[in-house]
Amino acid sequence: MRLRRYFVTGLLIWIPIGITLWAIDFLVGTLDQSVALLPRSWRTEAWVGMHIPGMGVLITLGIVTLTGVVGANLIGQRLLAYWESLLARIPVVRSIYYGVKQVTDSLLASNGQSFRKAVMLQFPRPGVWTIGFLTGRPAGEVARHLPGDSVGVFIPLTPNPTSGYFLLVPANEVIELEMSVEEALKYIISMGIVPPRAIVRSDGSDVTPLVVARPPPVTGA
Assess contact for 167 and 153: CB atoms under 8 A: yes
Torsion 72-75-78-84 (CA) sign: negative
Residue-range domain boundaries for the chain: 2-108, 117-207
The predicted model scores a pTM of: 0.52
β-strands 206-207, 199-200: how paired? Answer: antiparallel
The pLDDT score that the predictor gives to residue 215 is 45
Assess contact for 187 and 195: CB atoms under 8 A: yes
pLDDT in tens, 95-121: 888 777 766 665 555 555 566 789 999
Q: Which of 132, 129, 219 is nearest to 167 (CA)?
A: 132
Query: Measured between alpha carbons, how far is 105 from 114 in angstroms, rounded to an integer?
Result: 9
Query: Measured between alpha carbons, how far is 58 from 67 in angstroms, rounded to an integer?
Result: 14
Question: Lowest mean pLDDT: which of 10-14, 16-20, 35-39, 193-197?
Answer: 35-39
CA atoms within 13 A on the CB side of 28: 10
pLDDT in tens, 36-89: 666 777 677 777 777 777 777 777 788 788 888 887 788 878 888 888 888 888
